[in-house]
Amino acid sequence: MRVELAAASVNPFDLDIAAGFFEGRMPHVYPVILGVGAAATGDDEIGGVLLDGRFEVHRAIRHANKGGVFEGIDRSTGLAVIVKQARAGVGTGRHATDFQSALRNEAALFEALAGQRAAPRSMALFEQGGDLFHVQERIDGVTLAAWRKQHHRLPGWRAMALRLVDLVGAAHGKDIVLCDLSPSNVMVRADESLVLIDLEYATRTGETTAAAWTPGYAAPEHMSGEPAHPALDGYSLGALLFLLCSGGNPTLTADDEAGRSLDSRVTRLLELAAATDSDTAESTPLLRGLLREDSEQRWSLTCARSFLTTRASSALDVAAGPRGVEGDVDRMLADGIDYLISSVRPEDPDRLWKPHTNSEHSVTVPQECFEH
């Protein structure tokens, strides 16, 4: 079948992707919105789009303006691969991220980590049709975020925590600061070994990288644009360990009480989590040490490893229980009742309380919703 796409110049890879979709060869690949184009024909024997005469793309994982991420096969070896695309001219303006440079950076860092199983194997980096492509080994596994959701309780959380420490240590051993260490950027294989992925914005010590981070997992100095240093990843590691222990993300919302330090807020978060979770209670000294606001006071990987390899001392109170929560519960109930009493509107025949809105996410519920 021949697919006709009207007019001007379009990257041939995008045309092949669109042709593959419409011809039924690549039913899982959503068509790229081209707007303009040229005639494109497909080779039914390929079963997908062929890149560099070697890599057959057959499924899209993600499409974005900067480029897509695809699954494919290396025809020369039969191995499954991931193909990342960085479109030309995207993000090259002032104060923007050059996505092609970021993709080259990822390939170079994968090469630096080769032989350690700490990152996928980089298989090829090439330009085609003006776009840059990085082909890498496909890791069979799930992200750490997905893996944690599959495990309600983790009796062996220390073993996984040590693997995370070693994973970060492998990067630091090559003078690589990860900068965006998060649950979605770590893969867990079937044997529970760990792999770093998506290293486009990792960098070397002392360098400044793009402002890319995951909320709740980024050190405050990284968000403010300071040059990279290994302690950045220490904070992110602490956030990952909090996820391992509690199952929750250590995301702090905007603070209503001006003047509270990040350390005081993290301490309170840990106290509340530890009150009902023995793993968080046991690991509180470690988490508090890694999540310090001052990078110079933050625990090193050596300190973290030492804590994790030492059995919990009997002097440590690691039992979960309702410690330090009673006052908060009483305050919550009292404040809630006071609010309900003060905001009631007995004169309103339709609603006793005004519908809730806020300045950012105002929601208006149609009256008919209340008439059934």
Fold that domain 8-137 belongs to in CATH: Phosphorylase Kinase; domain 1 (3.30.200)
On whether the CB atoms of residues 49 and 21 are closer than 8 A, the answer is no
Q: How sure is the predictor about 44, in pLDDT bands with cuts at 50, 70 and 90?
A: very low
Burial 291-316 (b: 16+ CB within 10 A, else e): bbbebeebbebeebbebbeeeeeeee
Q: What value does the CA radius of gyration of the chain take, rounded to a whole number of Å? A: 25
- Which of 11 and 146 is assigned the larger pLDDT? 146
On whether the CB atoms of residues 123 and 136 are closer than 8 A, the answer is yes
Q: How sure is the predictor about 34, in pLDDT bands with cuts at 50, 70 and 90?
A: very low
Please give the C-alpha separations between residue 93 and each of 61, 89, 97, 98, 203, in angstroms, as whole numbers: 27, 8, 8, 8, 21
- Tell me what the mean pLDDT of segment 129-148 comes to: 96
**DSSP code at position 360:** S
At position 184, the amino acid (one-letter code) is: S
CA distance 28 to 313: 54
Question: pLDDT for 217-276, tens place per residue?
Answer: 999 999 999 999 999 999 999 999 999 999 999 988 877 767 789 999 999 999 989 988
CA distance 19 to 350: 57
**Considering only 166-175, 309-318, 344-353, which range has the smallest mean pLDDT?**
309-318
Q: Where are the domains of the chain?
A: 8-137, 141-309
The pLDDT, as a whole number, for residue 316 is 42
To which CATH superfamily is domain 141-309 assigned?
Transferase(Phosphotransferase) domain 1 (1.10.510.10)
What is this structure's pTM?
A: 0.74
Q: How sure is the predictor about 356, in pLDDT bands with cuts at 50, 70 and 90?
A: low
Q: For all residues of the chain together, what is the average pLDDT?
A: 80
**If we measure between CA atoms, which residue out of 68, 60, 61, 100 comes closest to residue 84?**
68
Which runs of E-coded beta strand occur in 231-307? none
First to last CA, the chain: 53
Long-range pairs for 62-65: beta carbons < 8 A, 24 or more residues apart: 63/30, 63/32, 65/90
